[in-house]
Structure 1
């Protein structure tokens, strides 16, 4: 027998339809008829950008939970509508695409645009009902407390200071300690984490996962991560230029919160600059490592980043300053850097060019048992992150729990 499909939450989720034909709308209504968790709030026969702005006003005033949109009537305008919703509505809003196109390119394009489900015509009542039930189950999971992992962000004050190297070596060290560890290469273009780890890139990565936030669970995640022999999981940066341009800080923040429910440690190698995506990472982080080298341009940028974080009210207790690639020939001393910052440097990582060059060229991280000066520092940093942390279950927890913004970087309430 088919199991009873009912899940209860608080208020019914509000559903709107856009340009559904009569047959498709009829299937949707019948699918919802046995689910008291949903209410059909409105039906529209216009896309975003068309003359009558009723749709835009309704979205702004009512913030529906689910939008079921037909892509076939006008493909370009329907995609613009989905993109508009992703820019202006909370990431928790689900968008169900309806179309007669079943080719992979059409489906991928819709998902990248922000659709969370793709339903093919003619609509099947059971398929629509299953999609709605899964949505309710995920919504219910957000109300269930669960253990929280730790998110550690790495932010280089300029290019070439070795941020990716430090993030990878630390993540690799924690994975070798048998903790569930994820590394996210959050560069919007041309990240190098796959090269450092000797992994073959596939079609999906971190920003593709963000586009699929509404469907994110432990099972879906396995189709996105790359597996390293150490046990480290990697979500790589996009393989193609410009593919992350439609991602919002809101959706990045919620994705990171979801991932910290599934791992003991999530390491993020941040993208350049301090735009909305970086601010989302900072909002989700338990610790921020500012990485600099001991030269004048880097030290100047380090001071600027430190000042900017102060203006944002980012807690100084969560920030560590790492001076990387320190050598006898460095143009600025650690004492001078500390004097400018008005705070102590957390760690000084020695310059080990030969060891790192070999590791990067072979795609094999430096062994954690190496007695090199570099790995001695990496081991101490790993101890400081891992101190007192109990070993957790090997099974990921797929629940997602939104929380209040801790210091308002993104002005997001969830």
Structure 2
């Protein structure tokens, strides 16, 4: 249990204390060391257990609780003190912070707010892990068109990451109309994204995990709605809260985007660390990538997250080379996935991921290396021939045609 925060809590109110305990139980990076119902006994509890974090609910007696915070800040400086209250009185908040509290959380406590506060404490106590902050890495997988293998990549990338015991991984199927991540995993989920969205205000980490489907690879899945009409029930506010809860609960969140690039997809991409744009070496796919990149340039910071992944490299009949595609797109191709149509058809029809069905296949090895690259275990593999940087917009927009001015400016 290295790098796990050990907590002790004090709250005279049994109901709110139990609610807090339930929320904490869903966090894998937290261990509840002790609980207390009396402010007068809490110092002794900390002396006996020596936790990393002391959580103090101050509504029972704000004056006594603030005095306790001040006393503990001097007596136990190694313990980070978190305070919660239903009061929004600025003076009370100021008093608790001056007394030595590291964080002030308003009641009722939102699980994602609690997780964020604990992550800040964790970063202060443990520092970075492998040069990176502890937290959730969000990766959106999007296809330049249908049928390019985006869902296959999302599912198998998630399974690959989940095979590492140090990772906790969840896959969110955001193709609300035609998503089929559950088919790739041969699972029949009991709950869907719509169920979670409709109960979002009542969810904590424990209930959220119970709403997910766990695969044998340890990958968790939150699938698309069953009924087509239910896809309209998920709002951007719902999705923001769902992503917040998933980020607070897991170390990796993979989102399989739809091909419509509508508001939910763009919201997910805005919150992502990486966006894998899956394409193939044919003119329609590359043309779509160019159009998308041009649109993303108008969305602050989004274009920098895009990583081009070329799928089915080496398939017969491809007339566009990797080098030509690189020159046309004006950026390096981040990853190449080899063509292994037969294996991919087998794993899809059997509902078994590559890591279980074909662990020694070249495509499995490539996805494993991609997972390592995304998590910083190795640098991305870019073939030497991808050195060219110039954009050839005219090659996609037709002979004699001119690319839009915005595209030309971005190429400079």
Deviation beyond 4 Å, 4+ runs, structure 1: 4-9, 35-39
SS at match of 2:228: coil
In 1, distance between residues paired with 2:312 and 2:116? 45
1:144 to 106, 111, 117: 117
Tell me what 2:147 maps to: 160
- Do the aligned partners of 1:190 and 1:238 also contact (CA within 8 Å) in 2? no
- Check if 1:287 corresponds to 2:274: yes
Tell me what 1:375 maps to: 364
Tell me what 1:352 maps to: 340
Query: Pairwise mapping of residues 258-407 of structure 1 onto structure 2 (< 5 A)?
Result: 258-326=245-313, 327-367=315-355, 370-387=359-376
Structure 1 residue 247: Cα displacement? 2.0
- Do the aligned partners of 1:248 and 1:276 also contact (CA within 8 Å) in 2? no
Name the CA shift for 1:342/1:241 in 2 (closer, same or farther; >3 Å): same
In 1, distance between residues paired with 2:226 and 2:300? 34
Name the CA shift for 1:232/1:336 in 2 (closer, same or farther; >3 Å): same
Structure 1 residue 135: Cα displacement? 6.3
Name the CA shift for 1:341/1:279 in 2 (closer, same or farther; >3 Å): same
In 2, distance between residues paired with 1:321 and 1:193? 21
Deviations 1:326-380 (A, max 9, x none): 2232132222221121101111112211101111111111127733221221111
- Do the aligned partners of 1:249 and 1:279 also contact (CA within 8 Å) in 2? no
Tell me what 1:90 maps to: none
- Do the aligned partners of 2:189 and 2:212 also contact (CA within 8 Å) in 1? no
SS at match of 2:210: coil
**Larger CA deviation: 270-279 vs 308-317:** 308-317
| Greater helix fraction, Structure 1 or Structure 2 | 2
Deviations 1:95-129 (A, max 9, x none): xxxxxxxxxxxxxxxxxxxxxxxxxxxxxxxxxxx
In 2, distance between residues paired with 1:308 and 1:320? 15
1:247 to 234, 241, 251: 234
Tell me what 1:237 maps to: 224
Deviations 1:196-251 (A, max 9, x none): 1111132x212321222222222111231111011110001111112021322232
SS at match of 2:291: helix
Tell me what 2:398 maps to: none
Structure 1 residue 324: Cα displacement? 0.8
**TM-score scaled by structure 1?**
0.60
Structure 1 residue 315: Cα displacement? 4.2
- Do the aligned partners of 2:275 and 2:307 also contact (CA within 8 Å) in 1? yes
In 2, distance between residues paired with 1:201 and 1:158? 27
Question: Which has the greater radius of gyration?
Answer: 2
- Do the aligned partners of 2:86 and 2:107 also contact (CA within 8 Å) in 1? no
- Check if 1:190 corresponds to 2:178: yes
Structure 1 residue 274: Cα displacement? 2.1
Name the CA shift for 1:231/1:4 in 2 (closer, same or farther; >3 Å): closer
In 2, distance between residues paired with 1:284 and 1:245? 21
Deviations 1:137-169 (A, max 9, x none): 337737724252111000111110010000111
Tell me what 1:3 maps to: 14
Deviations 1:358-411 (A, max 9, x none): 11111111127733221221111011122259xxxxxxxxxxxxxxxxxxxxxx
1:226 to 199, 205, 213: 213
Tell me what 1:394 maps to: none
Between the two proteins, the alignment pairs up a number of residues equal to 270
In 2, distance between residues paired with 1:333 and 1:3? 66
- Do the aligned partners of 1:250 and 1:280 also contact (CA within 8 Å) in 2? no
In 2, distance between residues paired with 1:357 and 1:183? 21
Name the CA shift for 1:288/1:2 in 2 (closer, same or farther; >3 Å): closer
